[in-house]
Structure 1
Amino acid sequence: MNPLALAPATLLGLIWLASPALPVGGFSYSEALEAAVDAGLADGEPQAGAWLLDQLQLSLARGDLAVLAQAVDGWAQADAARIAALDRWMLCTRESAEFVLQTEQMGRSLLEWLKLQHPDAPAAFAGLAPSYPVAFAFAAARAGAAPREACLAYAFGWAENMVAAAVKAVPLGQSAGQRMLQRLAQAIPAAVEQAIAVPAGAQQAFAPMLAILSARHETQYSRLFRS
C-alpha cells in the first residue's frame, strides 16, 4: 500500500508511534552500540553506519520486525494464543539481561501510554509481559495499520534512536547522524519486505556478536546508555 493512501488518522498514528518523543524510554538504550564503540568496532561514521545496517538486516528484519508483522495480524484477528506465543518468543530470544530489560520496560511504558487512548488495553494484555514489538503491534493495529506500514514506522523509530545513540557515543556531529539516518532509511523498505515474507514460526534470533557486546556492556566501566 502506498503510505500516501493511508487514512490521515492512521498515518498520524504511525508517525506518533515512530516519534522519539513517545514516552517509552527508547532514547536511553543503545542496543550494544555503545559497547561496540568501546571495543573499536563502531568508532567512526562509516563503521557505526555499517554496524547499524547489519543490525537492521541481520537482526531486526529476521526477528523483531517479523514478529511485529505477525503480531499486527494477530491483534487484528483477536488471536490471543498467537499473540502470547509471539510475546514468549521475543522474551526468550533476548540474549542478555539488558536486552530483556529493554523490551520489557519499553513494552510496559508503551502500555501505560496506550491506556490514555485505549482504556481496554490492560485487559488485552492480561498474562503478557508485554515485549515492546508486541505492544507496538497492538498500537499499530488499533490505528488501522497493516503489517507493512507498522514495520516501516517501527524500523524508522528504531533508526532514529540508534542514530541519536551513535551521535552521543561515537561521538558524531549532527550532519554525520543525518547521513547515517539516510543510509538506514534507504535500507528499511527492503528489510521490511524481508520481514513480512517470513512465515509464521520461522523468525530468527541469531546475532552472536550483538549478544556478546550487550553482555559486556553490563559491566562496561563508563557508559551513557542502559544497554
Structure 2
Amino acid sequence: MCMDRVAAMTTITAIPTERRRQMLAPHSLLQLIWLASPALPVGGFSYSEGLEAAIEWAGVKDEASAADWLAGQLRLSLARGDLSVVAQAISAWSAGDLGRVQALNDWVRQTRESAEFLLQTEQMGRSFVEWLKLHHADAAACFAELPPTYPVAFAFAAARAGASAQDGCLAFAFGWAENMSAAAIKAVPLGQSAGQRILARLAKEIPAAVEAAMALPDDRRQSFSPMLAILSARHETQYSRLFRS
C-alpha cells in the first residue's frame, strides 16, 4: 500500500512544466469556485428552468428521467446558447471590446423564448452586478449603460478573475448543474444521494458541452428549444409550484 501511495504521489507531482504554467493561480481558482457557488446571492436557486413543469407534463418522475432531461438541456440548450455567450463575452471583456459585449448581451435578451426565462436572466444579471460592485471598483461604470444579463455579468467576473474562456465556461456550467440538481431534489422529489448522482453525471458531460460551445461561430449560436420554451411558459401558470415564475 505504501508503494502504491508513493507511486500515486510521483504521478501527481510529475505534471509537465507546460501544464503547470497553464494552471490557474490560487486566487483565480478560488474566484471561479466562488462564482460557481449556489450560495452566491443572485437567486439561481429560485428557478427550475422548465424542470418543475416537466415533472407535471413531460414525464420527469424519478432520478433516471430527471438526469436524462437535465443532460439533454445541457447539450441542446445551455451549450448552444448561454455557454457560447459566456465564452465569447469573457474574451470580449478581457479585450475591452464593449461593443462586442453589448451585442452579446442584446442577443441573450432578444432570444429568451418565454417571459420567465427573460425575467430570470435579467433578475440574476442585476443581482450579480450588485454583488460585483462590492468586489470590483469598475463594475458600476462598466454596467452603467448595459442592463446586464446573467451570462454577460458572469463573464465579466470570470474575466476579472483572470480565467480563460474554457475555465469560465466550466465554472458557469457547474454552477448551473448544482442549481438544477438541487431543483430536482426539491421538485421530483429525490434524496440527496440521487441528487449527487445526477450532479456527477452532469459533471462528466460538462467538458464536452463546453468544448462544443467554444467552437460555435456566431451564426450557429442559438436558443431554439421549443419544448423547453413551452414548458417554461406553462410553468408561469402551473397551479402548484415551488420555483419562481
- Bucket of the pairwise TM-score, normalised by the shorter protein: over 0.9
Q: CA deviation at 1:109?
A: 0.4
> Is 2:171 the partner of 1:157?
no
Counterparts of 1:168 and 1:113 in 2: how far apart (Å)? 26
Q: CA deviation at 1:127?
A: 2.1
Specify the code of the residue in structure 1 equivalent to 2:153.
Answer: A
Alignment of 1:120-199 (within 5 A): 120-199=138-217
Note the alpha carbon deviations across 1:19-44, whole angstroms, 9 max, x for none.
01000000000001000001142111
Note the alpha carbon deviations across 1:177-208, whole angstroms, 9 max, x for none.
01100100000000000011112343111110
Note the alpha carbon deviations across 1:60-84, whole angstroms, 9 max, x for none.
1111000000000000011111000
Alignment of 1:87-98 (within 5 A): 87-98=105-116
Would you say how many aligned residue pairs link Structure 1 and Structure 2?
Answer: 227
Specify the code of the residue in structure 2 equivalent to 1:168.
Answer: K
Q: Among 29, 47, 68, which residue is 2:86 paired with?
A: 68
SS at match of 1:117: coil
Counterparts of 1:71 and 1:209 in 2: how far apart (Å)? 27
Of structures 1 and 2, the larger Rg is shown by: 2
- Structure 2 partner of 1:116: 134
Counterparts of 1:156 and 1:2 in 2: how far apart (Å)? 22
> Is 2:61 the partner of 1:14?
no
TM-score (norm 1): 0.97
Q: Percent identity?
A: 68
Q: Among 17, 42, 45, which residue is 1:27 paired with?
A: 45
- Structure 2 partner of 1:49: 67
Specify the code of the residue in structure 2 equivalent to 1:16.
Answer: W
Counterparts of 1:134 and 1:74 in 2: how far apart (Å)? 10
Runs of 4+ displaced beyond 4 Å: 1-4
- Structure 2 partner of 1:83: 101
